[in-house]
Structure 1
Amino acid sequence: MTVVVVTDSSASLPAELAVDLGVLAVPLHVLVDDREMREGVDECEIDYGTSQVTTSAASPGELRAVYERALELSDGDGVVAVHISRQLSGTWEAGRHAVRDMDAAHRIRLVDSLSAGLGTGLPVLAAARRARSGETLDVVYDSAVAAASRGRAFIVVNRTEQLRRGGRLTSAAAFFGSELVTKPILQMVDGRLELREKARTRSKAFTKLVAAAVDAAGEDGAAVAVQHLGAEDAASTIATQLQSLIPGIREVIISEFGPTLGVHLGVGAVGALVVPGGCG
């Protein structure tokens, strides 16, 4: 058999791509009042403007069940689990606890993607493609770690209130002054979400977003992803711009942020994610 790659639902991989590469996803949780829903499994009707919606990581038991299934599917070749940044979610730590007492713990490797959304999904693709080609556990693991370390993520949001309230934004909000007259551009740095710069209008924020992604992609080809929440037209436009501006672009994936990220980012969020050198 081959190594099996596992991730969590926040990675936002298009379903057909995950199925084609044999990637298993553990659902994270969205809590609305007294209801708990599993992302990607249960129907989630969410009012992203309310403060009554929260999220939670997968439990060690949930992760262990999927790891065990993946081990069985790999016929002992092993499992590489690539999860959302441990700075943003307890999922990676829960995975560590899940593996600790397993008999085949030495055949399971955990990777902190240092990112979220398709910033996690692109390293998953790098690992899964190596696995599909029959590479060893060490090679598959190293490919995920390398893609995660090269990856860069930039996000435009309308407001940072939800991120600050959830403790997922590290920089001082005073950096921006009034968000009523500026649009924040965020970036992932070592797994943390930080304020990068500001723009006076949404269109200028998107221009800065594209410029940051193009600069990060370099000139030797890159894998690119664009994500959004309720901003399909803007995401499509940005993807087209990136395709024309990044030399030797390897692939472009467009998808919507799932509920566990959308709750914190808010409607209108758009992200650009790049892995220089690609995920092949």
Structure 2
Amino acid sequence: MIKISADSTCDLSPELVKALDITITPLGIVVGGENFHDGVDIFPSDIFRYVDKENKTCKTAAVNVYEYQQVFKRLSSQYEAVIHICISADFSSCFQNASVAAQDFDNVYVVDSRNLSTGSGHVVFDAALMAREGLAPEEIVRRLQALVPKVEASFVIDRLEYLHKGGRCSTVAKLGANLLQLKPCIEVINGKMTVGKKYRGRFDTCLEAYVKDRLCDRTDIDYSRLFITHPQCTPETVALVKRTVEQYAHFDEVYETNAGCTVSNHCGPFTLGILFKRK
């Protein structure tokens, strides 16, 4: 059997992780000098409390080489092969660290998803399905590398305070966006985060326009699966997005997942994206 493992940044739900038998390696979260592990002893609600109510700064920390070695040591002895999928190397040193750790094992393979959140989650999901089919590890890795550039990941952000506190948005840009009610679309392109279209108005109204822009009149979409991923949006907002998705596309599977601490720390509670694959 082949074991699939992934960084916690893949943002797959606990139910999917269990159903697909995926091992999750948590990234670190540092709060005021105290170290936590994403999804283990710290969760997005904690991040929002620290930032909004206690005015603390939270930082993400990559999984280090030793931590990966311990995971790979345990799994490689139990399985024919281990395939680990990382957050984009342009976002974190996780891929570099995992690659170094994998050098100690003949049956561990590391894949750079060139993405984050359920953008990586698509790669992890497909890897698990391939492992179930009994494909050879080298073939799975080859197919995953071909899949990576086909994943389309983007999010709309309601508030820029979190990007500002993380150094990814200037004070002037934040104030201008707030005054104009601008909601930027953050896209992952070639493994890097870029700012796409800026929507204007209420968050829910912007999300409707965003979903239309992403799905309407497309001929290159793979309709097998779509993730709706967010840290803490209301059920009403998520229901609106689901209805809007159904207006423009018919996916075989639509999964709602909650973004983990990494996305939450950089984007804040009211962020939502639809993530899917191209043909």
- TM-score interval (norm. to shorter): 0.7 to 0.9
Question: Considering only aligned residues, what root-mean-square deviation do their CA atoms show, in Å?
Answer: 2.5
1:230 alignment partner, one of 211, 229, 232: 232
Cα deviation code 1:206-232 (max 9, x no counterpart): 123202431567355242101112203
Aligned-partner SS, 2:227: strand
Per-residue Cα deviation, 1:114-136 (whole angstroms, up to 9, x for no partner): 11111111110001100011111
Q: Which amino acid aligns with 1:192?
A: K
Conserved in 1, the CA contact under 8 Å of 2:208 and 2:244?
A: no
- Higher strand proportion (structure 1 or 2): 2
The answer to whether structure 1 residue 262 and structure 2 residue 261 are counterparts is: no
What secondary structure does 2:12 align onto? coil
Most deviating of 137-146 and 80-89: 137-146
CA contact (8 A) 1:168 1:193 kept: no
* CA shift digits 1:115-174 (9 cap, x unpaired): 1111111110001100011111022212322332210011111234533554667x9x85
Distance in 2 between the 1:108 and 1:72 partners? 10
Find the counterpart in structure 2 of residue 151 from structure 1: 151
The structural deviation recorded for 1:81 is 1.1
Structure 1, unaligned runs of 5 or more: none
Query: Would the alpha carbon gap of residues 191 and 179 (structure 1) be closer, same or farther in structure 2, given more than 3 Å must change?
Result: farther
Unpaired segments of 5 or more residues in structure 2? none
Distance 1:113 1:195 in 2: 20
Contact 2:221 2:277 in 1 (8 A): no
Deviation at 1:252, TM superposition (A): 1.0
Q: Partners of 1:43 and 1:176 in 2: how far apart?
A: 30
User: Mean Cα displacement is larger for which, 264-273 or 220-229?
Assistant: 220-229
What SS is found at the alignment partner of 1:159? coil
1:126/1:230 Cα in 2 relative to 1: closer, same or farther (>3 Å)?
same
> Aligned to 2:274, what secondary structure does the other structure show?
strand
* Amino-acid identity (%): 24
> Does 36-45 or 80-89 show the bigger shift?
36-45
Q: What secondary structure sits across from 2:232 in the alignment?
A: coil
- Give the secondary structure class of the aligned counterpart of 2:239: helix
Deviation at 1:243, TM superposition (A): 3.4
**Cα pair distance change 1:264/1:167, threshold 3 Å:** same
SS in 1 for 2:198: strand
Whether the 8 Å CA contact 1:82–1:144 is kept in 2: the answer is: no
Farther off after superposition, 214-223 or 30-39:
214-223
1:91 to partner: Cα distance: 1.0
